[in-house]
Amino acid sequence: MSETPLGEGFADAAHKLADDFRADVSTPEARLKTLDGGVSLAIAFDPAMLDQARPVLGTPKWTDLPSAADVDAAFAGTPKNVGAVHVVLDCKVRQGGAMGGCGVESEQPAGQGFGQAALALAAKARVSTWTDQGLPVVGGEVRIPIRFETGDPAAKP
């Protein structure tokens, strides 16, 4: 199997579709065509997708997320006893599913470095280049919500 362009998930998508393909073997001529072995699968997208300022992604499938150690390292320089922290990042999906062009959409508490720390984590996140709904995600935008509690853990009852 070959894939062009490489690394965009087309081969994986074709493998998922393979179970749905059926070959006609009802006549000797059809069987000969099947034995030829070559299958070319042309994929066409709805041209309306090109007119959208923000491509529709459906539900992105996360393939890589920051580890607990990554989170600890990113937020090491932020205040420790501020209660709930909630940051939302807006990122563009780049080639291969990597995040890029990220910005802080919202940050609570504001002005204490949580947004900047969250931006460092975005480089550790990656999505599949195709959604389970069959939509391409490269070039689309995703919102990444990050929420956690600071301070000492609650005492056990």
> Computed from CA positions of residues 108, 112, 116, 118, in that sequence, does the dihedral angle turn out positive or negative?
negative
The pLDDT-based confidence of 154 (bands split at 50, 70, 90) is low
- pLDDT of 80 over the 60 cut: yes
Q: Where are the domains of the chain?
A: 10-43, 54-149
Residues 6+ apart with CB under 8 A from 14: 1, 3, 41
Cα(19)–Cα(70) distance, rounded to whole angstroms?
Answer: 39
Q: What would the mean pLDDT of 149-157 be, rounded to a whole number?
A: 73
pTM (predicted TM-score): 0.63
What CATH number belongs to 54-149?
Answer: 3.30.2420.10
Unique residue bearing structure tokens 């922290």: 85
Q: What is the pLDDT of residues 1-21, one digit of tens each?
A: 677 777 777 777 777 777 666
